[in-house]
Amino acid sequence: MKRKEINPADAYALLENAIFCYQGEPAGTVAAHDPALDALNYDQCFIRDFISGALIFLIKGKTEIVKNFLIHTLALQKSEKRMDCFEPGAGLMPASYKVIYEDGKEELLGDFGNHAIGRVPPVDSGFWWLFLLRAYVKKTGDMAFAHQPEFQEGIKLILELCLRSRFEMFPTLLVPDGSFMIDRRMGVYGHPLEIQSLFYIGLRSARELLRSDNEDGSSYLQAINSRLGSLRYHIREYYWLDLKRLNEIHRFESEQFGENVANKFNIYPRSIPHWVTLWMPDRGGYLAGNLGPGRLDFRFFSLGNLLAVLGSLSSEEESQGIIQLIEERWSDLVGRMPIQIVFPAVENLEWEILTGSDPKNYPWSYHNGGSWPVLIWPLVAAFQKMGRPELGQKALDLAGDRLITDEWPEYYDGKNGRLIGKEARRYQTWTISGYLLGKMLQENPESLSLMSFDEDPEIQGCPV
């Protein structure tokens, strides 16, 4: 069969068709326009989902829609948000919002988890908002926009939520199941990598955006600088996995006391899964999915690793190792559709226990090993940043062979992504924008500066 080429202009027209307005101005994009299925919550604009589309609009100079989005979500941050008789803190950003009509008036309705399946709070939304605000300022040069009092207050409210001292010894952020891209029960409770990468990016964004010419701003900047160093050290030192590190863990002694021990988190060597000893290549490595007392999640979580590369949370050597691992294990991670959200899938009794027998997270489907085309943009961006654009082109060629024919599905099933997701929406906006943004980055690598961070030698983080 002759390959059906994707026309970028046609794909961009689909993205524009997803734009909705509030008070006569563009305010965001709906999640999907699948004519064959009920809208459910796909008629909303999700902060996470909008990021790739927003970056496209910025690159194309259509900054007004991004500006409106930032303003509206900031206003919702301070709105009432209740779950039964409980009201979360003012700094929580909505996971999504949509326009509703009451008494002939337009209103924005935000979802903070109070309407979501499983009632999960959006831990990642605030960090994505900071990421996008920074990208907007870098593109427009309008730092005065971010320096407005209401924006400075919004930034500080997010920082209040994530920098507050709790019963924690780690610099990472404690996260409940289901509170980020993997928004269903998947055994990720604790300190999942994706949130730590976003936390780091959010802190670096806030550091660029906060005003430092007053005492209040300076105190927040001091807190950010302190946390950045310890967080970076913690992730690089304890989350990194390669063959050398795997051998060290294999020979760990457990039940060690005191400060100067090798096995600080009491990881039991017998907890190393059999698959990882076979799968780990001789060169390259990755950041583990999660770490906590007596627990190391050896699964490869794509977005967390790719964001660690883009944010320079991983070191130069580790970032190169992550790219090497993806190249070495291309058939497993990329397969026929870039890229699996997590590898490997949990199966059998482990699937029953970790997911609660979730029928949507069946092995090699959805968030349990499904392939998500939206991840094409951070994949291509990471390849660009690490000097491997040919791998980005290879991924784009794979996706271009199928997406238009399959009508832009939300996700794919199967070990190699050959099957359209069983419950996937078609004409998924972030699938369209994820591919388009990857293609734009491949053709205009200078746009990478909107979404990446260089290594910062001023960030210090060594144990005392």
Task: Write down the pLDDT at residue 1.
Answer: 42
| Residue among 345, 379, 354, 372 at smallest CA distance from 431 | 372
Q: What is the pLDDT tens value at each position of the chain, 464 positions in all? A: 445 567 778 899 999 999 999 999 999 999 998 877 777 788 999 999 999 999 999 999 999 999 999 999 999 998 877 777 777 777 899 999 999 998 889 999 999 988 888 888 899 999 999 999 999 999 999 999 999 999 999 999 999 999 987 778 899 999 988 899 999 999 999 999 999 999 999 999 999 999 988 878 889 999 999 999 999 999 999 999 999 999 999 999 998 888 889 999 999 999 999 999 999 999 999 999 999 999 999 999 999 999 999 999 999 999 999 999 999 999 999 999 999 999 999 999 999 999 999 999 999 999 999 999 999 999 999 999 999 999 999 999 999 879 999 999 999 999 999 999 999 999 999 999 999 999 999 999 999 999 999 999 888 766 54
Nearest 10 degrees: CA dihedral of 229, 233, 239, 242? Answer: 130
372's CB contacts (< 8 A; 6+ apart) are: 339, 340, 341, 410, 411, 412
Contact 440, 59 (CB under 8 A): yes
383's CB contacts (< 8 A; 6+ apart) are: 323, 389, 390, 391, 392, 395
What is the secondary structure of 245-306 as a DSSP string? Answer: HHHHHHT---S--SSS-S-TT---GGGS-HHHHHHS-SS-EEE-SEEETTEEE--EEHHHHH
129's enclosing H/E stretch is: helix 125-140
Sign of the CA dihedral with 399 first, then 181, 75, and 142 last: negative
Give dist(CA 30, CA 432) in Å, integer.
Answer: 12
Strand partners, 412: 371, 420
Give dist(CA 415, CA 332) in Å, integer.
Answer: 7
**Residue type at 438?**
G
Task: Write down the pLDDT at residue 4.
Answer: 56
Residue 388 tokens, joined: 């491997």
What is the secondary structure of 38-49 as a DSSP string? Answer: --TTTTSEEHHH
25's enclosing H/E stretch is: strand 25-29
Contact 114, 81 (CB under 8 A): yes
Residue 106 tokens, joined: 């337009």
| Residue among 418, 407, 408 at smallest CA distance from 373 | 408
What is the secondary structure of 141-181 as a DSSP string? Answer: --HHHHTSHHHHHHHHHHHHHHHS--S-SSSSPPB-TTSSS
Task: Write down the pLDDT at residue 214.
Answer: 80
What residue ranges in 370-418 does DSSP mark as E strands?
A: 412-413
Tokens 């507050």 locate to 164
Query: 1 vs 23, 402, 405, 420, CA distance in Å?
Result: 47, 12, 12, 19
Strand partners, 83: 86
Task: Write down the pLDDT at residue 462.
Answer: 60
Number of alpha carbons in the 13 Å side-chain half-sphere of residue 379? 34
In eight-state DSSP terms, residue 97 is E
Task: Write down the pLDDT at residue 116.
Answer: 83
2's CB contacts (< 8 A; 6+ apart) are: none
Q: State the pTM of this model.
A: 0.96
| Residue among 269, 266, 246, 248 at smallest CA distance from 256 | 266
Query: Residue 28: left if φ>0, alpha if ψ -120 to 50, beta else—which one?
Result: left
Residue 227 tokens, joined: 């946390």
